[in-house]
Structure formats: structure tokens, C-alpha cells
Structure 1
């Protein structure tokens, strides 16, 4: 999932795919912070101290760019977690988890 305020920054974040999953903060073409999550794109094989340090850098970078949530990465993670009701973003589109149906993105 890529969330951002401008196309260039989002493309930069998306290109960090060589990490095999993880979290990234980018501004324009510059990566400001990253946390590789190489185990299924969800977990790290690094020591907890290294993971915590990288996560703190991510939070600082996101807040420097204007994020107002205490932990924007946690909010982003839950928006894609398909098992928690009600509407979730998936690779198939927007899903109504209560009804197990895709939700149209356009009103007809």
C-alpha cells in the first residue's frame, strides 16, 4: 500500500521494493527513512533495538512532512487489514468486509 500527498514521493516509496516489504517515508525522489520488513513484508529479522530505531526515524520523518497522527503507520496498516470490519482496501479494490463484497468506487 502506498499513501502520500504527491505522485513523485509515492513513486519513490513504491520503488523501494528491493527491501522485500517494509515502511518508507519519501519526499520527492529522496527516501527520508525506511524500515525493511523482510519476513512476509510484515516482520523484521533484525534485533528489536534496530527495528525500534528505524521506526522512530520513520515517525520523525512523517511528522516532519506534516503527518498529524501519533502513529500514521499503524493507522495505515489497519486500513488494509481485511479481517477487521467494515471497509478495507485490498489488491482487488475496496471491500465491504461485513458483506464480503467489492464496493464500487463510483456512484452511478
Structure 2
């Protein structure tokens, strides 16, 4: 578990503590069968509406090619 109290994006913990939590989270993802080297970084990119094709945003599914919501 890694608490991100600052806008759901940042921790108030020292870097070293956050790193330990990330190591544990990556191991848990791998134990569940995840083969991605950085699964949480890749998930973060899903919400970026500037990266092509369909993206999930806080307002819904966005078609980047049409620059409009589906």
C-alpha cells in the first residue's frame, strides 16, 4: 500500500520510503502475473489525452484522433 494524499498523485513520505513501497507493489503485481516492467507507470499514461487513440479521462472515454468524447 502506498498512500498518495497530495491530489492522489504524491506521497508525503521520504523518497526512500516511497521506493520501498514501490518495490513491494511491483513484486505484488508480478506475483499476480503482470509481465510489464513498470506497470504503474504504464497505467499512468492511460489517462493522458494527448497520447493517440482512445484514452480514459475523469470525464469519460476520449477519442484523441477525433479530439472528442465517445
Q: How many residues align?
A: 70
Structure 2 residues without counterparts, runs of 5 or longer: none
Provide the residue aligned with 2:49 in structure 1: 82
Matched, 1:92 2:59: yes
Structure 1 residues without counterparts, runs of 5 or longer: 1-33, 104-108
TM-score, normalised to structure 2, is 0.86
Deviation at 1:83, TM superposition (A): 3.4
TM-score, normalised to structure 1, is 0.58
Partners in 2 of 1:89 and 1:60 — Cα distance?
A: 26
**Which of 60, 71, 80 pairs up with 2:38?**
71
My pick for the range that moved more, 63-72 or 83-92, is: 83-92
Provide the residue aligned with 1:44 in structure 2: 11
Specify which structure has the higher proportion of strand. 1
Q: CA RMSD in A?
A: 1.4
Which secondary structure state, in structure 2, belongs to the residue aligned with residue 38 of structure 1? coil
